[in-house]
Amino acid sequence: MDVSLSAEDQAFRDEVRAFLGENAYQAGTNYMEWRLGWFAKAREKGGWDVPKWPTDFGGPGWSPTQHYIWEQETARSTTPMDAPFGVGMLAPILMGYGTQEQQDRFLPDIRARTVNWCQGYSEPGAGSDLASLRTKAVLSDDGTHYTVNGQKIWTTMAHMADWIFCLTRTDDSGIKQEGITFLLFPMNQEGVEVKPIITLGGAHSVNSVFITDVEVPVENRVGEEGKGWTYAKGLLQHERTGLAGLSRSLVALEKLKGQARTVTRGNGTLMDDPSFATKVAELEIDLMAAEFTELRSLAAASHGKDPGPESSILKLKGTEIQQRIAKLTVEAGGIYSAVRGGGSAGPGFAQNGMSSYLASRAYTIYGGASEVQKDVIAKNVLGLKRG
């Protein structure tokens, strides 16, 4: 998509490119030292380390076009690993609903990337139907702490997290969306057990978390008791926007086209094959349409609006696009894609194609399954009512 840039935005793009080039990772450098140094330098630029934070909390106050430029340029560059749970998900909740004490306590470490967070949402029997969660939090008689018991599942990076933000049930007398309370507690304490789940692609990124008689001080409750569902919905909107990954998909699609041009088909390449070229073109059109939706969402955010139902559209289409790119990569690799990481036969890109494809099957499930997103879109975008 060709977005016309003003002279000011072109200057900003040049500045971003220069920053990314000057601070790119150099082979042989200690990665963790480079990572923390990169974020420190980005902070010195005036909030570039937290581009989506409001200016009141140290964000840069960028326009929608500047956000778009940042996403585009960082997707094309090597930037530090940055899990979304602290900066992108918990931080907006603390800014909107946390106390001043909680903001002062947690936001600096989140911004410095010195404390890692994980998200305690899904449970066995409460994934897409998250409001059916059963992890119980009981307030002590003296009102000083909650005792938490239950299990969370599919908890990404729980084995590396220092803290967890966790949805718990404090009251089950009303409808299931009521009586849910938002708690924060450290992972390294007695009563918290993390067990790995190895996914279809062979990776360990998700876990089961077992919580047994864990005491959580009442000052670690975010907002009011029983109002956690309201906060969780806002967090999910931020999460779903991030999971769309449109800028990364643009880069991945260009990479796929380049890879397909290295595969011989008759007197030409795979990109000359009408069937394959049609699939790529259809994918490119859908990605362009999703980009325009993302720009509308950014424009709304620049006027102080929270992510709305558009985040469900982005999550739905964005994750489907990621899956289609992974599938076409396997198709481009042909029989060599079945090797799954071994051997030197066939094109190099085929060796990891199958693992990426298998991992991509989860994209339309986590963060709210596609079926859930379609319900949200039907209700809040199209105005349809249940029969």
Query: What's the pTM value of the predicted model, to 2 decimals?
Result: 0.84
* Amino acid present at 112: A
State whether 314 and 264 are in the same domain. yes
Q: Within this chain, do residues 220 and 153 fall inside the same structural domain, yes or no?
A: yes
On whether residue 2 sits in a domain, the answer given is no
Listing DSSP states for 60-128 in one string gives ----HHHHHHHHHHHHTS------HIIIIIIHHHHHHHS-HHHHHHHHHHHHHT-S-EEEE--BTTBSS
Are 149 and 204 within one domain?
Answer: yes
The beta-carbon contacts of 291-300 under 8 Å, at least 24 apart in sequence, are 291/1, 291/246, 291/250, 292/1, 293/317, 294/68, 294/241, 294/244, 294/246, 295/3, 295/64, 295/68, 297/241, 298/64, 298/67, 298/68, 299/64
Q: Which of these three, 35, 61, 82, is where a domain ends?
A: 82
Percent of the chain at pLDDT > 70 equals 92
Are residues 200 and 328 located together in one domain of the fold?
no
| Average pLDDT in the chain | 89
Claim to verify: residue 36 and residue 103 sit in the same structural domain: no
Same domain flag for 44 and 65: yes
Q: How far is CA 187 from CA 88, 115, 202, 272, in A?
A: 20, 11, 25, 53
Residue 240 or 356, more confident: 356
Q: How far is CA 331 from CA 89, 284, 327, 337, 357, in A?
A: 35, 17, 6, 8, 10
Q: Please, how many CA atoms are within 13 Å of residue 263, restricted to the half-sphere of its CB?
A: 26
8 CB-near residues (< 8 Å, 6+ apart): none
Mean pLDDT of 355-364: 88
Question: pLDDT tens digit string along 106-165?
Answer: 999 999 999 999 999 999 988 878 889 999 999 999 999 999 999 999 999 999 999 999
283 and 351 assigned to the same domain = yes
From 227, 261, 281, the end of a domain falls on: 227
> Residue 264: is its pLDDT beyond 80?
yes
In a domain, 1, yes or no: no
Instruction: Pick the catalytic residue from 73, 239, 291, 294.
Output: 239
Name the residue range of residue 178's domain.
Answer: 91-227
Q: Which of 34, 52, 82 is the last residue of a domain?
A: 82
Whichever domain contains 355, its CATH number is: 1.20.140.10
More confident residue, 13 or 350: 13
Do 77 and 161 fall into the same domain? no
pLDDT for the residue numbered 308: 66
Give residue 341's pLDDT band: very low, low, confident or very high (50, 70, 90).
low
Q: Give the mean model confidence (pLDDT) for residues 320-327.
A: 95
pLDDT tens sequence across 99-108: 999 999 999 9
3-class SS of residue 40:
helix
Number of domains in the chain: 3
For the question of residue 8 being annotated catalytic, the response is: no
279 and 189 housed in the same domain: no
